[in-house]
Amino acid sequence: MAGIGLFRIFDPKVRRHLISDEGEVVIDEVRHHWVVFVVPMLEIVLAGALLATMVLTKVGASVNLVLLVLVFVLLAHSFWTFLTEHRDRFVVTNMRVMRIRGVFSQTVATTPIARVLDITLQKPIIGRMLGYGHFVFESAAQDQGFREIKWVSRPDDRDLTIQRVIQRTGLRASASVDVLQGDEDSDDDGTGPIGMDSAQEVTTTSTPAPAAAQSSSRPSPPPSGSATKSIFNSERGNWIDND
């Protein structure tokens, strides 16, 4: 119980890095596979064996001192390894991916989920037996610590989760563009803002002349020999160009 409480104290506290007011939530928080803790556990067992040797065996003071130093080094190294692996987290949210690591000094690297271009899942033979794998990301954030994410437990499930988030993010972006453009804007000539066709643009930006000017100068009707050419027609307006 004391160990669990100690690790809670050194937990990286991922939730405080979220943009809560924008609706960001954690989809998956990836901790390292238990295989990374095998070596620290062996070091603790070896340190316990050395302590038992010191207690049960009558050796000289110099030998006891050397054994005590070895025990201290093994315990310190195992504890540091535990903390380093415990605080190294790869987090997938509905907006971005993050990697948080570091014990005393902390490094937080983030990149939008849409910038993840390609994901390679590597599963060595031992990894397939024990249930871990390594992710290799191809993105614009390779220099920020996202190039390789190693010792990922349940790699197949995590890969599917990331792919779903990427697909849903792309679908949301496409849906947003469709909503802005509208289904009736097939006649957009590309000169106006998204969601506004040329008729709306001309109608909005044209400024009516003053009443006095309109009363004093009325436009003369076009000559009888000229033809009226319509270069834009839509259900919401007509743009008539008189030759």
The structure's pTM equals 0.63
| Helices assigned H by DSSP within the chain | 2-9, 38-56, 61-86, 125-130, 155-181, 198-205, 211-216
In DSSP terms, 96 is beta-bridged to 112
Please name the residue that has the structure tokens 């062996």: 42
What are the phi and psi torsion angles at 74 (to 5°)?
-65, -45
Whether the CB-CB separation of 127 and 117 falls below 8 Å is answered with no
Whether the CB-CB separation of 130 and 150 falls below 8 Å is answered with no
DSSP for 98-116? Answer: EEEE-SSS-EEEEEEGGGE
Give the span between the Cα atoms of 93 and 112, in whole angstroms. Answer: 9
Give the three-state DSSP class for 208: coil
Give the pLDDT of residue 197.
43
Give the pLDDT of residue 221.
54
Whether the CB-CB separation of 92 and 112 falls below 8 Å is answered with no
Give the pLDDT of residue 238.
42
Give the pLDDT of residue 62.
83
Give the pLDDT of residue 31.
92
Give the pLDDT of residue 187.
44
Give the pLDDT of residue 111.
86
Give the span between the Cα atoms of 102 and 86, in whole angstroms. Answer: 9
Give the pLDDT of residue 123.
94
Average pLDDT for consecutive 10-residue bins of the chain (243 residues)?
61 88 92 95 95 83 88 95 93 92 88 85 94 85 70 93 86 47 44 41 44 48 46 41 45
